[in-house]
Chain A
Amino acid sequence: MENNLRDICRITTEPISPLALQEIFDDPSCGALTTFTGKVRNHHEGQSVKTLTYEAHTEMAEKILHEIVWEARRMFDTRRLIVVHRVGHLSVGETAVWIGAESPHRDSAFGACRYVIEEVKKRLPIWKKEHRADGSTRWMEGCHEIV
């Protein structure tokens, strides 16, 4: 399983700049670039959220990112895929995950981008802990709280 060397699959502790990542895409044969930005929002299931802490099994997560990108390439006609997921302590509004998919036509770009985020959410060994306005904290299980 080998991905295109132009693909980027990374877990980072640094802030993500969507604009800087978008500028990497420069293939003149592609007419479509679809991006997804996953940000920290200020509420979840009726609770006010102040910050999120993301934790990862980094080596395994990057390996699975490469697998997901490899699968997306075989399902969709994409020329470059970039997936970056941040871990650490994030404030409301900060970017947690960014995906870019570049293709000759929009169907593949939309399809690849959607496929990647759905698989990231299902498979990546990453967890997030909510820090709520009332001072409580909770590890989240997908969309459900772990008690």
Chain B
Amino acid sequence: MKITVRYFAHLKDRLRRDHDEFQVGCDASPEKILRLIFPETGKRETAARHLRVAINTDYANMEDILHDGDEVSFIPPVAGG
């Protein structure tokens, strides 16, 4: 199934792009997507520090199961206002 991933702020700068598309299995989760983006454990742990995740437009959990067409957003600590 197809999953779109969006990046923001420092994560976007670090990856030098604001989105990706992945073809994944039916047991995909944001945590598994993060492993595809950062295969190395050390880099993944550094990147994922304090990251939240949203699925479509709702805050979600890293272990939530994704569905075809979902959009995953990795949310660095926010700084609005």
Contacts and interface: CB of A to CB of B under 8 A. Distances in A.
Contacts of A141: 50, 76-77, 79
B73 interface: yes
A60 B58 CA distance: 7
28 contacts: A54-B80, A57-B6, A57-B8, A60-B58, A60-B73, A61-B80, A85-B80, A85-B81, A96-B81, A97-B81, A120-B80, A120-B81, A121-B78, A121-B81, A122-B78, A124-B80, A125-B8, A125-B73, A125-B78, A125-B80, A126-B81, A127-B9, A127-B78, A128-B80, A139-B9, A140-B79, A141-B50, A141-B79
Interface of A: 38, 54-57, 59-61, 63, 85, 96-97, 117, 120-129, 139-142, 144, 146
A127 B76 contact: yes
Interface of B: 6, 8-10, 12-13, 50, 54, 57-58, 73, 75-81
A113 to B, nearest CB: 13
A57 B80 CA distance: 11
Contact of A127 (B54, B57, B80): B80
B81 A55 contact: no
Contacts of B54: 57, 60, 125
A141 B76 CA distance: 8
Q: Name which of A85, A124, A146 has the most chain B CB atoms within 10 A of its CB.
A: A146
Nearest to B49: A146
A141 to B, nearest CB: 4
Closest 5 CB pairs of A and B: A126-B80, A127-B9, A121-B81, A141-B77, A124-B80
Contacts of B80: 54, 56, 61, 85, 97, 120-121, 124-128
